[in-house]
Amino acid sequence: MLWIKNVTVIDPGQGVSGVNDVLVQKDKIVEVGPSFKAKEVLVKLGVTDINEVNQIDGDGKYLFPGLIDVHVHLREPGQEDKEDIASGSRAAIRGGFTSIMAMANTFPIVDQRAVVEFIKLQARRAGMARVYPISAVTKGFKGQELVEMMDIKDGGAVGFSDDGKGIQNAEIMRLALEYVKLTGCPIISHCEDEALASKGVMRRGRTSARLGLPGIPASSESVMVARDILLAAETGGKLHIAHVSTKESVEMIRWAKGKGIDLSAEVNPHHLIFTDEDITLTDTSYKVNPPLPSREDQEALLEGIIDGTIDMLATDHAPHTWEEKARPFQEAPFGINGLETSLAAVWQKLVQSGKLTPEKLVECWSLNPAQRFGIEGGTLKPGSLADMVLFDPLYKEEISTEAMESKSGNTPFLKKELQGFPVITWVEGRMLMKNRKII
Ligand code: DOR
Ligand code: ZN
């Protein structure tokens, strides 16, 4: 039995936002309510000696339902020098994420049931965050032939995506949205028109011109967002747009939702926090795809979150080795390591500054992902699994590769101090992280 006292519970799933006590029995939440009520429940459950109950003082801290990250690259199988399922799922727990979705751009690519089952097995062995595999849409990410969707779904995939690469052929995307209906899962679209993106390495604009770097126009994303929305409307297939980064995309998603089209969308913290103006030739940790947006785009992304056009936050955790990221800007791989810094970064830069409420943060990073992908978690309603995060808004930490569980340190926050971190993470009532360390 676990009794968390006087903690500020933020749980939009049951409309709770305020100081409460929380009771957990084995793997489930049994009570969220005022202190006197918790005591009554303890008596009802037959607890005679309160000292037998594991008690935690939550004064000054928040309790969130475990965060759910729908966009993570775990690199296993095939690129275990960057990350593996064990290190990535430990990083998740340290960052406050109790469930994560693993993208399919591994080696081999996740385009067969056996690979999905392997990922699930490795995740179980790691015993950390729950890991939900995402399957490729097309065999070998070639954009030509669809995977065996039903078989792969039966193996445990919860979505389909060629993330890392846009599906260039509109007819293939149309077919994917048609067939995916049988599975009930969404197609997660990495919207990028390769002809428009060409060899660009950052957002096309004044800064790319000044730095002399080839630019990626905003349209390389937006034209594909438009295409996929129209295809989702025509087929009725479920669509999720990954890493939205332009104002035009936000506007089109808003329009599509107004029409009742079955779609959801995510935005990555780095797109809300940094802009193309932060990029310098010497720091490749800012190199990411889609690239960091203009200030105007960033404002539209935040507006999209606030008015519900954008449903989710997702890290797009993309670990790369130091050697790869040490290459010149044009040659370094795209990607930002996000699991262990994103919650703190969003808290400090957006919640503390009053741009985002804690309720919205939890809605976008826990409740909406659970509901959209039909997975456990997302709320602390009595009867739910006790996936929880105790969050200390005052905890400060300098980001260092030594402390990180991830194998890679490619984050713009390296050697910088952030404030507001998870201090305990539980999965199904099991405490897996305490005082910023995996236990
Ligand atoms: O920055 C990125 N990194 N964007 C992607 O789409 C893929 C990802 C990766 O796998 O490294
Ligand atoms: Zn990705």
User: What tens digit of pLDDT does each residue of 57-115 get?
Assistant: 999 999 999 999 999 999 999 999 999 999 999 999 999 999 999 999 999 999 999 99
Q: Give the residue from 359, 422, 436 showing the smallest Cα distance to 392.
A: 422
Residue ID of nearest Cα to ligand 1 atom 3 = 335
Q: Is the CB of 335 under 6 A from ligand 1?
A: yes
CA-based end-to-end distance of the chain = 19
Q: What's the pTM value of the predicted model, to 2 decimals? A: 0.98
Which residue bears the tokens 């990626």?
A: 216
403 CA from centroid of ligand 2 (Å):
24
Q: Is the CB of 288 under 6 A from ligand 1?
A: yes
Mutate to test the pocket of ligand 1, among 76, 101, 162, 163 (most ligand atoms within 8 A of CB): 163
Which CATH topology does 67-373 take? TIM Barrel (3.20.20)
Which ligand is closest to the CA of 270, given by its number? 1
Is-contact 309 265, C-beta < 8 A?
Answer: yes
Query: What one-character DSSP code corresponds to residue 180?
Result: G
> How many Å apart are CA 395 and CA 82, to the nearest integer?
28
Query: What one-character DSSP code corresponds to residue 121?
Result: H
Mutate to test the pocket of ligand 1, among 76, 105, 162, 192 (most ligand atoms within 8 A of CB): 105
Q: Give the residue from 245, 407, 241, 239 showing the smallest Cα distance to 318.
A: 407
Assigned CATH class of 2-63+383-438: mainly beta
Is-contact 173 131, C-beta < 8 A?
Answer: no
User: What tens digit of pLDDT does each residue of 345-361 get?
Assistant: 999 999 999 999 999 99
Evaluated on CA atoms 402, 405, 409, 412, the torsion sign reads: negative
pLDDT value at residue 44: 96
Bridging pattern class, strands 62-65 and 67-72: unpaired
How many other β-carbons are positioned within 10 Å of the β-carbon of residue 418? Answer: 20
Tokens of 178: 């048609």
Tokens of 166: 């846009």
Low-confidence ranges of the chain (pLDDT < 50): none
Domain range summary for the chain, segments of one domain joined by +:
2-63+383-438, 67-373
Classify 415 in phi/psi space as left (phi over 0), alpha (psi -120 to 50) or beta.
left
Kindly list the protein residues that place their beta carbon closer than 5 angstroms to ligand 2, a single-atom ion: 163, 316
Which ligand is closest to the CA of 192, given by its number? 1
